[in-house]
Amino acid sequence: MSTLELSEMDSVDAVGRGVLRRFLARPPAVVALAVLGVFVLLAVIQPFALASPTRIDTRHKFGAPGLAHPFGTDELGRDLLSRVAQAGQASLGFAAGATAIAMVLGVAWGLLAAARPGWLDEVLMRVAEAALAIPTLLFALVFVAAFGSGILAMTIVAGLLMAPLTARITRSAVLAELKSEYVRGLTAVGASRSRILFAEVLPNALPALLAQASLNVATSLMLEATLSFVGLGIQPPDASWGTLLKAGYDRLYESVWYPVAPALLIIAAIAALNTVGDQVQRVLRGTAWSGR
């Protein structure tokens, strides 16, 4: 029995920590997560804690922000904070749904391409590229024109639109992992191809996919806001951040404050999501540096 030498024990370094812990050690990431947390919280507590978004108060039309109405009131004197919070349910729900569809579809797509090099990979990737070549907005407009602008249809369309990019990201992340030495080790041990792919490689590619997911949420928020702003998205009486922004923009001469809240929320949410994606990628690149 050979024993462990001191020199071996000494050189153990504590460089490696989990991706999550290194992510949370970055102030921008924490701020971005906090911002997103507040938005989600607002949307969730709106039915219980805030004033009713449908209560009309014609005496206080176009109210400026104040103690009673932190974001002011709209053309019917409704509280804008609760309206924005309620719209957040639609906007965030739409973004989450679209992202979920994009991730499920895109990851399966990319994984299949990475696992089956050859003609299947070629076909899948060329299809993805063809889909990517069409401008997103144009695509969305055509879909909405064809299938109407119900929130479910729009969610599915947005999910489909983001799937090809997700597939490409997944493929390259998985291929990079498949080339590494540990996969050769696993093959030599006798692990099956599917075990290597699903149990060993995919979890390692997860952080890269999370970064892509946060960008997907940002993209779909943006898409919803754009479509709603041009009047093709979610239709009144349903409200989303995009429809509120549109409504506020139309009434800009009556109240400067009206469009401010939805605009700020959209900007802050997208900035926060991009920051999250960016920070995850930085953490991952950091792994590559210190990786021994």
Partner 1 sequence: MTHEVLRLEELSLGVRGRPIVRGVDLTLRSGERAALVGESGSGKTMTALAIPRLNPGPVAVTGGRILLDGTDLVTASERELVRVRGRRIAMVYQDPLSCLNPVRTVGGQLVEAIRAHREVTAARAHTEAIRLLVEVGVPEAADRLGHYPHQFSGGMRQRVMIAMAISCAPDVLIADEPTTALDVTTQARVLRLLGELAERRGMAVLFITHDLAVASALCHRIHVLREGRIVESGGLREVLTTPRHEYTRRLVASAVTLSTTPAKSGPPGEGVLIEAEGLVRRFGTGVTAVDDVSLSVRSGETFGLVGESGSGKSTLSRLLLGLERPDAGKVSFRGTELASLGRAGLRRLRREMQIVLQDPVGSLNRRKTVGHIVGLPLLVHRKAGRRERRRRVAELLDLVGLPASFAGRYPHELSGGQCQRVNLARALAPGPSFLVLDEAVSAVDVVIQAQILELLRELQARLGLTCLFVSHDLAVVRYLAPRLAVMYRGRIVETGTREEIFEAPKHAYTRSLIDAIPALEGVGR
Residue 288 as a binder of partner 1 (CB under 8 A): the answer is no
Residue 185 as a binder of partner 1 (CB under 8 A): the answer is yes
Binding test (CB under 8 A) with partner 1, winner from 58, 67, 181, 288: 181
Q: And the tokens for 85?
A: 């919070």
269, 290 contact by CB (below 8 A): no
Q: How many CB atoms lie within 10 A of CB 103?
A: 20
CB of 287 to partner 1, least distance (A): 8
Binding test (CB under 8 A) with partner 1, winner from 45, 184, 198, 231: 184
Residue 5 as a binder of partner 1 (CB under 8 A): the answer is yes
Residue 75 as a binder of partner 1 (CB under 8 A): the answer is no
Binding test (CB under 8 A) with partner 1, winner from 33, 127, 191, 270: 191
Which of 55, 227, 255, 22 has the alpha carbon at shortest distance from 142?
Answer: 227
Residue 117 as a binder of partner 1 (CB under 8 A): the answer is no
Binding test (CB under 8 A) with partner 1, winner from 74, 114, 129, 200: 200
Q: And the tokens for 181?
A: 């030495």
Binding test (CB under 8 A) with partner 1, winner from 21, 55, 126, 195: 195
Residue 116 as a binder of partner 1 (CB under 8 A): the answer is no
- Residue 274: exposed, middle, or buried by beta-carbon count in 10 A (0-12, 13-18, 19+)? middle
The rounded radius of gyration (Å) of the Cα atoms in the chain is 24
Residue corresponding to tokens 């995919």: 202
Residue 7 as a binder of partner 1 (CB under 8 A): the answer is yes
CB of 220 to partner 1, least distance (A): 29
| Torsion, CA 220, CA 225, CA 228, CA 232, rounded to 10 | -40
Interface positions, 11-50, toward partner 1 (CB under 8 A): 11-16
CB of 283 to partner 1, least distance (A): 14
159, 213 contact by CB (below 8 A): no
Of 20 and 76, the one with the shorter C-beta distance to partner 1 is: 20
234, 240 contact by CB (below 8 A): yes
Binding test (CB under 8 A) with partner 1, winner from 45, 134, 180, 267: 180
Of 237 and 291, the one with the shorter C-beta distance to partner 1 is: 291
224, 242 contact by CB (below 8 A): yes
CB of 123 to partner 1, least distance (A): 22
By CB under 8 A, which span of 5-13, 157-165, 224-232, 240-248 interacts with partner 1?
Answer: 5-13
Which of 199, 212, 8 has the alpha carbon at shortest distance from 100?
Answer: 212
Interface positions, 202-221, toward partner 1 (CB under 8 A): 203-204
Q: How many CB atoms lie within 10 A of CB 10?
A: 8
The size of the interface with partner 1 (CB under 8 A), counted in residues, is: 33
- Distance (Å, rounded) from C-alpha 283 to C-alpha 23? 6
- Distance (Å, rounded) from C-alpha 249 to C-alpha 236? 15
Residue 151 as a binder of partner 1 (CB under 8 A): the answer is no
220, 69 contact by CB (below 8 A): no
Residues that bind partner 1 (CB under 8 A): 1-5, 7-16, 180-182, 184-192, 195, 200, 203-204, 291-292
